[in-house]
Amino acid sequence: MSGRCGILGLGRGRSQGLDRESERRRIIESFDVLSVPSDIRALIREALDTDKWDWFRDCDGCTGVSEIYWPTIYFPPCLRHDFDCATGHNGWQTSLRFYHIQRAYGVSGVRSGVRAAGVTLAWYAWLKWRG
């Protein structure tokens, strides 16, 4: 367990010894290990390869939870969700994409749904309006 992200972890931060290339390699290797579909791979690669944000610096993991099956804060579904939020793509479509990417990474339907509902609720209840 990373223990370094979200409200229940230790907040935004980095573990000693993490580096961009090792984390990128871990994410890319996860595609084959977990048989991630090509459309989901493309979404993750877009978040990794864009010049619109620095994923290694700006990703803060799964806010509110720690993903126990992923060793660092760069859990691909959360990384993509952070990218969407950082580039102004929020709301229902982003939450639905977050749900589908989590499912591709083996997160249960219930857990994926609760997380997607949580980020949707947070967006419409507070984040959208804080300007």
Structure confidence at residue 127 (pLDDT): 64
Give a yes or no: residue 15 inside a domain.
no
Give a yes or no: residue 4 inside a domain.
no
pTM over 0.85: no
Give a yes or no: residue 11 inside a domain.
no
Structural domain that includes position 76: 20-129
- Would you state the structure tokens that stand for residue 68, as one six-digit string? 């126990």
Give a yes or no: residue 113 inside a domain.
yes
91 sits in the region (left: phi over 0; alpha: psi -120 to 50; else beta) called: left
Give a yes or no: residue 2 inside a domain.
no
Segment 20-65, tens digit of pLDDT: 999 999 999 999 999 999 999 999 999 999 999 999 988 877 766 6
Q: What is the residue type of 83?
A: F
Q: pLDDT at residue 8 above 60?
A: no
Give a yes or no: residue 13 inside a domain.
no
Domain count, the chain: 1
Give a yes or no: residue 8 inside a domain.
no
